[in-house]
Structure 1
Amino acid sequence: MKKILLVAVITVLGFATVNAQGIKFGAKGGLNFASVSGDNTENTDVVTSFNFGVVSEIPISDTFSFQPELMYSGQGYSFNDNTIALSYLNIPLMGKYYVTKGFSVEAGPQVGFLLAAKNEKTDVKDLFNTFDFGVNFGLGYKLDNGLNFGARYNLGLSDINNVENSSGKNKNSVFQISVGYFFF
């Protein structure tokens, strides 16, 4: 897992050594509205948390870009007034298609590494898988001054439960809004 994380960090940040015209680096942050989908989730509620991290945008053509990110993401769910708070280090690898100047649609895979899991103040990390995989879909708008806005949905594809003989499978389900800025 450490090797995967190292490769991901190099992928996201390693382009700093490349002196290619048009590559942008920045930061972003925003709100998450998270829950779980799957078996026995009809009584779960959404929890609100935050996300923040670093991004890079690498133009491939006039209308298509590759945007790797390294993001902290607060996720989880609530049931019967009991909140499960999940903290992830996520690595989205987004393809962005610019429909018009500034406005883009985006999609791409995401890998996540569970950093912490708490039920109120109790550590429950052992009940959850440490690796998560999903796919993102979203919209973005970038101003000429580097300020950008985004809305994204993360559809979890892997079971987050790590409980033997579990009666069901649960997957992350996260809607995100964010504001960012490209520095250069």
Structure 2
Amino acid sequence: MKRLLLIAIIACFFSSTAFAQVSFGPKVGANFSKYGYSFKESSDEPEVTFRFGQSVGAVLNLQITSFLAFQPSANISVKGVAHNVNSWNSGQAVYTGYDRVRITYFETPLNLALGIRLGQGQIQVFAGPYLAVAIIGVERWDYEENVNGIREVDKDNKRVKFRNTVSEEDHGDEDVAFYQKPFDYGVNFGLGYKYKHLLFNAGFAMGLANLQPDMSGVEFDPKDYKYSNRTIFITAAWLFGGE
């Protein structure tokens, strides 16, 4: 009986999607992202702020019913984190400057959207998972150290390298700023507005993956230094096809 019920549900889904209105088109957007930290010792967690990044890709709008749509997309999305030091006194020197991390991902959000007609358009509430893989990353910094009026500048940029496990050989690579896991996943949710061929979305993406890699050759537990992506995003898409 349960098997028949499951088959009936699947059949209803595919029969509804067979008659669904399908539209698709390009999508652009902006990200405001940072890392969310959950260290074993909370006092070790750095104070960071959101940094700006862009996203570009394509979205599919599969209108299953008048109020329900499946909206998968494929994006190139820039995330990262910002750290600003306005004036920090170590007791021996005063430090000022900034640090920026920029990670570019290939990302696939898979959202379901519930819509209610509002005026000539439709306001939507959407939610769903996302999967992402890091393509390239870089960290750049510019700090000034002031010791009794003598100033020294530390300014550079180095690449971020992606590893699930950092080997002993990797530890000595001076061209790498730091290591991070390549795969990310999490959940999206937010609000949207669809008007004719235009689709606007604003939401929050909460990463669930611990981006801290394991390290061989040393006593290290990635769970003690967990960090994940946190992103506020806005997007706009132009849809072709459909009604």
Structure-2 change in CA distance of 1:117 and 1:163 (3 Å): farther
Cα contact 1:32–1:74 (8 A) shared by 2 = yes
* TM-superposed deviation, 1:42: 4.7
- The number of residue pairs the alignment matches comes to 166
CA distance in 2, matches of 1:179, 1:61: 22
> One-letter code of the match for 1:72?
I
* TM-superposed deviation, 1:99: 2.5
Question: What are the superposed Cα offsets for residues 37-78 of structure 1, whole Å, 9 maximum, x if unpaired?
Answer: 123545111110111100001122221111110011100001
Which consecutive unaligned segments of at least 5 residues does structure 1 have? 1-17
CA distance in 2, matches of 1:27, 1:140: 16
Which consecutive unaligned segments of at least 5 residues does structure 2 have? 1-16, 39-43, 85-97, 141-156, 163-178
Q: 2:212 aligns with which of 142, 145, 161?
A: 161
Question: What are the superposed Cα offsets for residues 94-131 of structure 1, whole Å, 9 maximum, x if unpaired?
Answer: 00000225110000000000011111231112311111
Question: What are the superposed Cα offsets for residues 141-166 of structure 1, whole Å, 9 maximum, x if unpaired?
Answer: 0111x012110110000111225225
Matched with 2:125 is 105
> One-letter code of the match for 2:107?
N
SS of the residue corresponding to residue 169 of structure 1 reads strand
Structure-2 change in CA distance of 1:41 and 1:180 (3 Å): farther
CA distance in 2, matches of 1:143, 1:98: 12
Matched with 1:86 is 103
The alignment yields a C-alpha RMSD, in angstroms, of 1.8
CA distance in 1, matches of 2:214, 2:83: 18
Q: 1:96 aligns with which of 98, 113, 119?
A: 113
> One-letter code of the match for 2:206?
L
Scaled by the length of structure 2, the TM-score of the pair is 0.64
CA distance in 1, matches of 2:211, 2:56: 22
Q: 1:152 aligns with which of 197, 200, 203?
A: 203
CA distance in 1, matches of 2:214, 2:56: 30
CA distance in 1, matches of 2:235, 2:132: 18
Scaled by the length of structure 1, the TM-score of the pair is 0.84
SS of the residue corresponding to residue 161 of structure 1 reads coil
SS of the residue corresponding to residue 61 of structure 1 reads coil
- Report the identity percentage: 27
Matched with 1:170 is 227
CA distance in 2, matches of 1:169, 1:99: 39
